[in-house]
Structure 1
């Protein structure tokens, strides 16, 4: 069964966003197979992580997507801005899936340095874009299992 997904990406750190999008696309492609010539996921870009929840909600409420993977990065700076953005992005993304019932994952890097971000965006530690897509796919499997 072919399904369409959405990837909502915060592009404040463009290079990181591109890496995270690629990881999510790869996971969704493995789950759906090669039938979608333009890829299994539509990508919607927003300026930063704070904007992810509203864009995810719009995608989820559109009825076009089985799930939404949110990706981006917030790198700690010298002010409290990091804490506010990270917390509100996480809270908002969680609220989207609770309100809509559409699996919506948090693939936002919340790190102290660019080196940490690179390692977690397809580098040596993990691929958080792929993990965000994997979470959506896992939640859909739970839904199928509960549907009988």
Structure 2
């Protein structure tokens, strides 16, 4: 039995422009997250031409880059991906 709530719904995302803002830092993790996000969008009907990937140096800069992308008003959705790993 799950101890957390799972909410599921259908996604039909054929129209619109999508920005994926991802960090360069921890690329071994973030690159897979980015590829998974792109794959998910494509499986739900988004044409690759509707997806723009914007790279940020690291997690600290991620919200600033996302803010700038949002200010451009070119995108209907922004997906932010980063990973903070201590080791």
Richer in helix (by share): 1
Equivalenced residues, count: 74
Alignment CA distance shift 1:15-1:40 (3 Å):
farther
Residue 2 of structure 2 corresponds to residue 2 of structure 1: no
How far off is 1:67 after superposition? Answer: 1.0
TM-score (norm 2): 0.73
Corresponding residue for residue 33 of structure 2: 20
Corresponding residue for residue 11 of structure 1: 24
Residue 64 of structure 2 corresponds to residue 51 of structure 1: no
Q: Tell me, in whole angstroms, the C-alpha distance in 1 between the residues paired with 2:61 and 2:86.
A: 18
User: Cα deviations across residues 81-136 of structure 1 (Å, max 9, x unaligned)?
Assistant: xxxxxxxxxxxxxxxxxxxxxxxxxxxxxxxxxxxxxxxxxxxxxxxxxxxxxxxx
How far off is 1:39 after superposition? Answer: 4.5
Any unmatched runs of 5+ in structure 1? 78-148
User: Cα deviations across residues 14-62 of structure 1 (Å, max 9, x unaligned)?
Assistant: 121210101111222233x15x2x3532111111100011110111111
Any unmatched runs of 5+ in structure 2? 1-13
Q: Tell me, in whole angstroms, the C-alpha distance in 2 between the residues paired with 1:60 and 1:27.
A: 21
Question: Comparing both chains, which one has the higher relative contact order based on Cα–Cα distances under 8 Å and sequence gaps of 6 or more?
Answer: 2
